[in-house]
Amino acid sequence: MTVLRTNRKNRAFTLVEILIVVVILGILAAIIIPRFANASKDARRASLSSQLGAVRAQIQLYTIEHGDQRPPNFNGNNWTDLTTQTVYNGVNRGPYLPSVPVNPMNGFTNIAVVVVDPSWGDAVVGANIGFVYNSSNGFIYGTSALGDKVFNESNPGDPANDQ
């Protein structure tokens, strides 16, 4: 009886098998990678909405503790009234924010001051604007990825937020 021995050197993957695996991995990557790219945009949008809520709460606290007076020096990049200790009626107040907020959508910290509430998607006057502050009612808004439009919080997935 003859026993056939298989040679271990001949037990490798063929070029066709390797190509099939590479093609399958390429198809899977093409499906999955765009989903992760959108996840980072979604995270930045959620972070901005959360941050705006926290800043709004601190502006309200400042207003209450300062005899219904809103922070007076919100202009340009001046967050001093919220990031440093203030004095009202001889009592030390604040600081209300530990540091200057940075808009996660665009990395800007500058503030544009308006006296009328903007609408979502309105153009912002100025360059590199991270926030829009309405001095008449104390409400603060974020800006889009380019810092040139008001961020649409009611519809964070609005394509205008990414422009």
> How many residues in total does the chain contain?
163
Q: Are 60 and 138 in contact (CB under 8 A)?
A: yes
What pTM was computed for the model?
0.77
pLDDT for the residue 93:
93
Q: What is the pLDDT of residues 39-65, one digit of tens each?
A: 888 889 999 999 999 999 999 999 999
pLDDT for the residue 78:
86
* pLDDT over 70 percentage in the chain: 92
Mention every residue, 6+ apart, whose C-beta is less than 8 A from residue 144: 105, 106, 150, 151, 160, 161, 162, 163
Is residue 99 predicted with pLDDT exceeding 60? yes
Can you tell me the mean pLDDT for 24-41? 86
